[in-house]
Amino acid sequence: MHIQLLMTGSELMRGTTTDTNSVRIADALATLGLAIQRKVTIGDDLALLVRELQAISREADVLIVNGGLGPTSDDLTADALAQAAGDTLAENADALAHLQQWCGERKIALNAANRKQAMLPSTAFLVPNPVGSAVGFGLRLNNCLVLCTPGVPRELEGILADSIVPQLAREFAGCEQQIILRLHLFGIGESQAQDMIDKAIPAWPDGVVLGFRAGMPTVEVKLLVRKSAAAAAQPLFAQLKTILADYIVAEGEQNLQAALLDLLAAQGKTLACAESCTGGLISSMLTEIPGSSRAFTAGFITYSNAMKSGMLGVSEQTLADHGAVSEPVVREMVCGALARSEADIAVAVSGVAGPDGGTADKPVGTVWLAWGTSAHIHARRFQLGGPRKRCQQLTAAIALDLVRRTALGDDQEPPYFARWAV
């Protein structure tokens, strides 16, 4: 099936607004195993809209239009679609009922601007919007199913899940709901992961598609699986987990820190962080997760030497002898964090995130990490690249992964030490 998107809105043509809606649409269609062939993006211009609607409807089976459904004068989708179809605008009873209900629930009067949203091409049908006031609608143009969706992300997500995906599933017998099996990797690049998988699993059965999504700092590997292929996919997913075992930090909808918090909570263990160059990033990644208080107790952001001594008890002599970015200092930071938080595991970071502060001995990107329990503390020096923020993100991810490995009792050196540890 040939599917195209028409993304509308002058804000999408400027250097201000990033189009995140087309990704939402692609993600929803992927659950039906459907792919988008082409996207066209234009501003709020009636003539351009009519031209694109005509051109795309002549070659696509389905056209999803996004944006331009609001009540203001630059919301042109209904008008453009009517013109493209040689149709006229008329007040749609279903649309009016939707608007009346929406206003009624909020105890506000239906005004003229709202009422404009009920003016649809006379041959249009309603595409119910479970979330907001915008009226989703569709019609057939040049034998193409044109579906018009709201630009507000929350409303788009509601209409995709509740209306568009079920309608496409009904209309196109060939499509079948898909499930997605996900793994999150750290310390490996997309192409290296692909190589490892290709060697072990050179071909995939019908209905199972391998995909990647490079994030920062993790890489997501996913199997998009047709429901009919679910049984065949399970052993392959298990094989994938064996192949990538050294790199897997989370599974499914979780990320590195959410999986770590679950692991710690299951073990009844708690974690404290002592951060210098990451400046609170590790703590904030953990506390972004709901319920993080189950396992995270304290963060010591000791940005100055005085604070390393005052908050964590790092000796002034050690700081003077070795400098803040050194093995003895991060070891004392971990000891201090363990002692002062009564956490079971602690991790400490001190480094030169840049862009300034590098020296010949300790260039920008030099990071010392220490991690462990009162029974045993490890420390390691890393040399990381990239600008300040990337260096901080990478350090935070390494720190969280090393805590994860400690909690698992895994004493093997992680494979990424070959790349980043010195």
Q: In the range 30-69, which residues lie near a copy of itself by CB under 8 A? A: 30, 35-43, 48
Pick out residues in 157-176 that bind a copy of itself (CB under 8 A).
Answer: none
Instruction: Return d(Cα 365, Cα 59) in angstroms, integer.
Output: 52
- Extended strands (E) in 106-171: 119-121, 125-127, 136-141, 144-149
- Point out which span in 84-92, 168-176, 243-251, 284-292 binds a copy of itself (CB under 8 A): 284-292
Among 77, 114, 178, 278, binds a copy of itself (CB under 8 A): 278
Q: Which two tokens stand for residue 136?
A: 């989703």
Between 126 and 343, name the residue whose CB sits nearer to a copy of itself. Answer: 343
Instruction: Return d(Cα 80, Cα 86) in angstroms, integer.
Output: 10
Between 297 and 373, name the residue whose CB sits nearer to a copy of itself. Answer: 297
Provide the minimum distance between the beta carbon of 124 and a copy of itself in the complex, in angstroms, as a whole number.
25
Q: Which two tokens stand for residue 417?
A: 């030490």
- Extended strands (E) in 46-95: 62-66, 89-91
Provide the minimum distance between the beta carbon of 169 and a copy of itself in the complex, in angstroms, as a whole number.
17
Q: Report the greatest alpha carbon distance in the chain.
A: 84
Provide the minimum distance between the beta carbon of 391 and a copy of itself in the complex, in angstroms, as a whole number.
11
Pick out residues in 305-364 that bind a copy of itself (CB under 8 A).
Answer: 306-307, 310-311, 340-342, 354-356
Provide the minimum distance between the beta carbon of 8 and a copy of itself in the complex, in angstroms, as a whole number.
11
* Phi, psi (rounded to 5 degrees) for 46: -60, -45
19 binds a copy of itself (CB under 8 A): yes
Between 301 and 421, name the residue whose CB sits nearer to a copy of itself. Answer: 301
Instruction: Return d(Cα 237, Cα 182) in angstroms, integer.
Output: 9
Q: How far is CA 241 from the centre of its chain?
A: 21
How far separated are the first and last CA of the chain, in Å rounded?
A: 52
26 binds a copy of itself (CB under 8 A): yes
Q: Of 184, 186, 185, 240, nearest to 209 (Cα)?
A: 240
Between 10 and 101, name the residue whose CB sits nearer to a copy of itself. Answer: 10
Total residues at interface with a copy of itself (CB under 8 A): 71
24 binds a copy of itself (CB under 8 A): yes
Pick out residues in 192-251 that bind a copy of itself (CB under 8 A).
Answer: 211-213, 220
Q: How many residues are recorded in the chain?
A: 422
Instruction: Return d(Cα 214, Cα 232) in angstroms, integer.
Output: 26
Provide the minimum distance between the beta carbon of 335 and a copy of itself in the complex, in angstroms, as a whole number.
16
Q: Which two tokens stand for residue 42?
A: 């234009």
282 binds a copy of itself (CB under 8 A): yes
Provide the minimum distance between the beta carbon of 126 and a copy of itself in the complex, in angstroms, as a whole number.
25
Between 120 and 147, name the residue whose CB sits nearer to a copy of itself. Answer: 147
Provide the minimum distance between the beta carbon of 303 and a copy of itself in the complex, in angstroms, as a whole number.
6
Q: For 376-390, b where at least 16 C-beta lie within 10 A, e where not — what string?
A: ebbbbbbebeeeeeb
